[in-house]
Amino acid sequence: MAAPLLRVALRGALGQVRHVAPVRPARAGAPVARVYAEVEREFGVLAPPVALHAPSPEVLAAAWTMLRETLVAAGRADRAQKEAVAAAVSRANACPYCVEVHTTAIEALGGSAGESAMEPLSPSLVPELVGVAATFHYLNRMVSLFLGDSPMPPGAPAAARRAARAVLGRLARQGADAAPSPGGSLDLLPAARLPEDLRWAAGTPSIAGAFARAAAVIDEGGERAVPAPVRELVTAELAAWDGTPPGLSRAWLEPALSSLPPEHRAAGRLALLTAKAAYQVDDAVIAAARHTDAQLIELTAWTSLTTARLLAARLVP
């Protein structure tokens, strides 16, 4: 009984989505409803970090496909090892929501949240584990922008939080025991060529297919929603960035924006913060840059995946 109740509660947790109007299951059109149904069936719950993408159905499918084919589907690495990568990346990105979810999963699977997640990395595991890292470099940024610090409602009593964590742990064990076959989500998106910077995924066709499709869709969204000068600036800034979070100061930000035309600086500010310090994005930054909900998802998804692709590529010798 507890798991169905938690599923209902987490559907209600869509109300915690910020800055965009969440798409409720009862009001979802066919493309969104199809993804929602697959997420609930194979992940166990309608996870808000996936569902927040629903204002752009194509980006929703891309986010789920990356998560499903790396973390959820059966593979060479076990679920506990993949959860350890997810938690480690989430800690590095200061994403407490994702840390709580995936630390709970590790504990339920008998692993240790403090164990090394990526070393030593067998070549046969590169597509899966680097794929998980790339997925969570992406998701951490989107969660930091559009969700709060915890999957539990604000102010929930300690007993309720413990009960919810227990149910989340049970769902993680069930997911590990019933891992779906690889490749099952690929038909959500059209086939695409694998970009060169994602060649680390080539050894596992389902993961290569997921990232090729997701990258194509999110790049198309970026072309619609992100002005070309902003895309050029983000690409240049990331190429010179060592991946170290800049901390709480924004002293680095305004000089970087000075090369943009004034009309693009609001979008540039949101994009650069999303890339390097998503935890610094506040309501004013969102309000200054936003247009429609779909455009806001597409702008931040493009920035998040562009950053994730660069950081993941650096994990591979």
Residues tagged active-site: 98
Cβ partners under 8 Å of residue 276, min gap 6? 237, 241, 245, 246, 252, 307
Do 117 and 143 meet the contact criterion of CB atoms below 8 Å apart? Answer: no
Cβ partners under 8 Å of residue 66, min gap 6? 131, 134, 135, 138, 210, 211, 214
Please identify which residue in the block is written with the tokens 């790396």: 70
One-letter amino acid of 227: P
Please identify which residue in the block is written with the tokens 């309000």: 287
Do 94 and 279 meet the contact criterion of CB atoms below 8 Å apart? Answer: yes
Cβ partners under 8 Å of residue 232, min gap 6? none
